[in-house]
Chains A and B, each alone.
Chain A
Amino acid sequence: MGEAIVVTSGKGGVGKTTTSANIGTALALLGKKVCLVDTDIGLRNLDVVMGLENRIIYDLCDVAEGRCRLNQALVKDKRFDELYMLPAAQTKDKNAISPEQVRDIILELKKEYEYVIIDCPAGIEQGFKNAIAGADKAIVVTTPENAAVRDADRVIGLLEGASIQSPKLILNRIRPNMVKSGDMLDLEDVLQVLNIDLIGIVPDDEYVIKAANSGEPTVMNPDSKAAIAYRNIARRILGDTVPLMHLDQKKGMFTRFKKIFGIG
C-alpha cells in the first residue's frame, strides 16, 4: 500500500503545482513508482508544468463518473516509466466531484503506486476538501510573506481538524539577500508562527519559471539550486536525513582565497 501526500497552501501562487511536479519527479528519479493527481478542476496546470498537456484523453471526472477505467485516464510521463499523472477536468468546476469519489480513486491508486502526490487547488472550499479526502499526509507550501504564512496557518488548522496529523512545511521562494537585509521573513519567523516540522526550503530561482514554461520539471537540471532543494525534499520524504541547504550566494574565487588566508 502506497502513501498519499497532498500538497496544499491555502493561498494561490506560492508554488503548489511546481512543488507537486518536482517532488513527484524527484521521487521517480530516486526509483519510486509515483502518480501525480491534479485536483484543481477547471484550472488545471499540473499537466502544463509536466509538459504532458497534449497527451490527456480522459480526466479525474471521467474516472469518478465511470466514463473510463482509472488506467485509461492515467498519462505516462515522457521521461520516466514509473511516473504517471491523473489530470483534472478543465471544462467543469470543483463541485463536479465529491470527496468520497476522490477518496476511492486515491485508494485505488495507492494499491499500485508507492507515492501518490495530490496537487491541491488554492482556497479552502470544495476543491480543498476534495484534495485532502484521500490523503494520508500533507505538505504545506508557503512563501516568506505574511499573507502566505497567514493562509498556511489557516490551512494547518483545517488539516488538523480533518485529522491529517503533523503536516510538513516547505518554505518556498526564499531570497537570501532580502532575508539578510531584513526585508523578508526568515525561516525562524515563519516556523515560530506555524509551529510545524520543516521538510525543506527552496530558494527563489529563475530557472523554475523557465522550466515550467518548457514543460520540464526543474529537478531534471542539477545545476539549479531549486532542483537540489526539491531532490533533498524527496529524500527526506523517503526517510533520509539530509541537512538544510545553505542559501548564501556562492562567493567568488578571490573572496574564498582571502578567507583561507584570514584577511577576508
Chain B
Amino acid sequence: MAVKSNHVTIKGIKDGLVFLLDDECNFEKLLDELRYKLEHSHQNILTGPIIHVDLKLGTRHISEEQKQEMLDILKQKGNLLIRSVEIPEDPEAAVKDSGITIMSGMVRSGQVLHHEGDLMFLGDVNPGGCITCSGDIYILGALRGMAHAGVSGNVEAIIAASHFAPTQLRIAEQISRPPDEWETRETSMEFAYLQDNAMQIDKITNIVRLRRDFNVFKGV
C-alpha cells in the first residue's frame, strides 16, 4: 500500500515527537496513512527507547470512538507514550451556552423542567410546578409556579413571564416570595432580576436598562 499524500507530519521536538494531523482530509484516510507511516516508512525512528508523543488535530472534531481508534493504532508501538491529544472544544457545548432554546408544553404540579442555558418556554407553569435553568428563563404564558434562573450561581440571570404570578422566585442563591404588591400590578409582561442580592421586579420594557446588549436601537 503506497500512501503518497502527506496528511500526517511527524516532527521531532526536544523531548519527543509531535504528530501533526491534517484537519481537512477524510478521517479514514488519515488513519490509513498513520498506520502506514508507523508500520512501514518511519520504522527506524519509532523503534527503540520510549518517546513522548503529542497529537495535534488542528480544527478537526472527532468523537470519543474515533479518538480511541486513533490511539489504538499508536499503542501498537510499545515505545510511543501518548502525552497529549489536542482536540478543539466540542462545538455543541459552545452553542449550548449561547443561543436560546425553545420548549413548549405545560409544567404541571409536581413536574420539574430543567435546562442548561437560556430557555424560552411557551406554555404555563402551574402552582407546584417548577422550571430550573442555568441561564435566563423567558415564559410566554403564565408563571404561577416556581422558577429558578441561574441555578449554577449566575446572579446575572433573569426570569420573565407574560403573566407574572409565581409562588416563588429564585435567582442563583436568592429566594424570594412574591410580596403582595406584585399581584396588584397592571397586567403587563414583567421580569425579575437581582440587584445587590435583592430580587427586583420590573416591566419588560425596562429590560434594556439591565441588559444594554439587548437593545437593538443603539444611537440614532
Contacts and interface: CB of A to CB of B under 8 A. Distances in A.
B110 A157 contact: yes
Contacts of A153: 108-109, 126-129
A157 B127 contact: no
A193 B129 CA distance: 12
A195 B124 contact: yes
B109 A195 contact: no
A150 interface: yes
Interface string B88-122: 00000000000000000010111100000000000
A156 B110 CA distance: 10
B124 A151 contact: no
* Max chain B Cβ within 10 angstroms of own Cβ: one of A146, A157, A158, A192: A157
Interface string B134-166: 000000001010000000000000000000000
Contacts of A193: 124, 126-127, 144
B109 to A, nearest CB: 4
Contacts of B129: 153
B127 A195 contact: no
A146 B108 CA distance: 14
A146 B129 CA distance: 14
A157 B109 contact: yes
Interface in B163-197: none
A150 B128 CA distance: 7
Nearest to A152: B109
A150 B111 CA distance: 12
Contact of B111 (A151, A157, A192, A195): A157
B111 to A, nearest CB: 5
Contacts of A76: none
B113 to A, nearest CB: 11
Contacts of B127: 146, 150, 153, 193
Interface string A118-134: 00000000000000000
Contacts of A157: 108-111
A138 B200 CA distance: 42
Interface extent on B, as a size class? Answer: 10 to 19
A24 B124 CA distance: 34
A146 B142 CA distance: 17
Nearest to B142: A192
A151 B106 CA distance: 15
A168 interface: no
B128 A154 contact: yes
Contacts of B106: 195
Contacts of A154: 108-110, 128
Nearest to A149: B127
A146 B110 CA distance: 15
B106 to A, nearest CB: 6
A150 B167 CA distance: 13
Contacts of B108: 153-154, 156-157, 160
Contacts of A158: 110
Interface in A134-176: 146, 150-151, 153-154, 156-158, 160
A190 to B, nearest CB: 12
Contacts of B144: 193
Closest 6 CB pairs of A and B: A157-B108, A154-B109, A153-B109, A154-B110, A153-B108, A153-B126
19 contacts: A150-B109, A150-B127, A150-B128, A151-B109, A153-B108, A153-B128, A154-B108, A154-B128, A156-B108, A157-B108, A157-B109, A157-B111, A160-B108, A192-B142, A193-B124, A193-B126, A193-B144, A195-B106, A195-B124
Given A158-B110, A193-B127, 17 more contacts: A146-B127, A150-B128, A151-B109, A153-B109, A153-B126, A153-B129, A154-B108, A154-B109, A154-B128, A156-B108, A157-B108, A157-B109, A157-B111, A192-B142, A193-B126, A193-B144, A195-B124
